[in-house]
Each structure stands twice: as C-alpha cells, then as structure tokens.
Amino acid sequence: MAGYEYVSPEQLAGFDKYKYSAVDTNPLSLYVMHPFWNTVVKVFPTWLAPNLITFSGFLLLVFNFLLMAYFDPDFYASAPGHKHVPDWVWIVVGILNFIAYTLDGVDGKQARRTNSSTPLGELFDHGLDSWSCVYFVVTVYSIFGRGSTGVSVFVLYLLLWVVLFSFILSHWEKYNTGILFLPWGYDISQVKFDYDVLAWILQSPSDILEIHPRLFYFMVGTAFANITCQLIVCQMSSTRCPTLNWLLVPLFLVVMVVNLGVASHIESVLLYTLTTAFTLAHIHYGVQVVKQLSSHFQIYPFSLRKPNSD
C-alpha cells in the first residue's frame, strides 16, 4: 500500500498531451496583481523550484489555521464575555495570508521564468489550492465567531460549501469542456458526499457540529480536496473520473451508525477517527501522485536539477 500507484498508465499518457489553458478577465488581477507578481518574482533566485514556492505558501495557511485553533478553538473568542484573540495574532495571520496569496500568484511565473513548467506544477498548485479552501475559510470565521454577536456554526458550514463549490465548479467546467465525453459518474460521487455529511449533521444525537465545529470543517474540507484532486487528475489527463470516491464508504458507514442513535462520546470518537483516516489517506494520495508524475517526467518536485545530472 505504501507504494500504491493512483495514476494509471492511461492517465500518465494523457498528461504527456496536456497543454495549460486559462483565461483571466478580472480587472484586479490584470491591472494590479499580475504587475505586482511580475515584480515580486524577480526577487526569487532562478535556482528556486516553483513547487517549493507553492508548498511554502500552503504551509503558511496551515500555520494560520493552527495558530487560530490555539487562540480560538471553539470560535467564541470574538463573542462578548470571552477572552479575545490578541491583536498581534491578527497582524501575523493577515501578513502571512497575504504572503501565501502572493506566493500562489508567483509560482507559475517562476516556472515560466526558469523554463520549468510541467503538468505536475499545475496539478501541485491546484491540488494544494483545493485543500487551502478549508484552512482559509475556517481561519476567517474567527473574525465573526459564534455567540450573540456572531454567526452559527451551521451558517459557516454553508458558507464553506459556497467556497468549495465555487472552486470545484471551475475545474468541473474545464473537465466537461476540455474533453469529448461527459463525466456522469463524477456527479454521483460529489452529490453522495454532500448528502452523507449533511445527513450526519441533521441526524446527530449529540449535535456534533456544535461540539466539534473546527474538526468537522476540516474533515469535510479534506475529503473535498481529495475528490477535487482526482477530478483535476482526470481533467488534465483527459480520462473519465471514477463513479464513486472510496472515501464515501467509511463516511456512509459512520452515517449509518449515527442513525442508530449512538452516544455522544462515541460520535466524537467516530469524527476523530474519520478525520484522521481522511487526512492520512489524502496525504498518501498526494505524495504518491507527486512521486509518480516526478518519475514519469524525470524531474524532482522541489528542485530544478535533473535526476540524470546527479
């Protein structure tokens, strides 16, 4: 299992034919951010691998998420009568978030600048972006928080899904319009996942979302990232998505157990177990896909040196 190959030979062959295509008509991007990124990228040395820039930005978002989890674990820090998040934390989070956004904007420019653009770079970038959605949205929630002056955890859950769907729809559209056949099976997987998670919330005997909102958001965001990454792989390789994602199996079983009216502490254990399993599975998926594509294109993921030059 440690060396399991997620990318099929057919998909590897499809990656060989892939050509990047994107249209950006946003005035802010065209007239403000791109000129800014074009200036910033000149600061980086030409030996710096673009994927290393991408990964650094992602780690900053993860750090922000963990920092806010420490100072505001239950999203009550902004509510009246609760200990507020220190001012310096907001400053640090804001600065790191802007740096992460900037790194995400310059990684592709660094790839073109160093003539090192590959399908792996785009997949790596978009794959980490899909997981970044939950880190960013949940961190921002601490600004509003819960309580009498905030918003409910369920409202934030719905807002999280707005962001998740906005991200996945752009890739779903590209998947549909970039190949000759339509992915009816993928739609079933996505809808089934939405139904199972929502069913857990509505049928939870212990109101699991109220008890562990941050953990529940993270579990959903991680599973979403895995589903999205598989879509991106299929979209870039012009292959058909699988009918169902295997992560739906343990999620479905948990929902079935919840329907039996389990005790609150058992439900919490199930959430922790499922979150751990999803996280390890997604990390394993990401690592193995990067290894496969790195071997296929004969490149190092975090270095511009060529393997045959060692």
Confidence of residue 92 (pLDDT cuts 50, 70, 90): very high
Residue 126 is a catalytic residue: yes
Instruction: Give 115-150 pLDDT, tens digit per residue.
Output: 999 999 999 999 999 999 999 999 999 988 898 888
How many C-beta neighbours within 10 Å does residue 91 have?
10
Q: Name the pLDDT band for 78 (thresholds 50, 70, 90).
A: confident
Query: Residue 248, SS3?
Result: helix
Q: pLDDT grade, residue 259 (50/70/90)?
A: confident
Are 118 and 216 in contact, with CB atoms under 8 Å apart? no
What's the burial of 118, exposed, middle or buried (CB within 10 Å: 0-12/13-18/19+)?
buried
Burial (CB < 10 A; 0-12, 13-18, 19+), residue 102, is middle
Question: Which of the two residues, 310 and 142, has the higher pLDDT score?
Answer: 142
pLDDT at 156 over 80: yes
d(CA 13, CA 54): 25
Catalytic pick among 126, 171, 212, 282: 126
Class of residue 298 by CB neighbours under 10 A (exposed 0-12, middle 13-18, buried 19+)? exposed
pLDDT tens across 55-75, in order? 999 999 999 999 999 999 999
Closest CA to 53 of 103, 119, 100, 117: 103
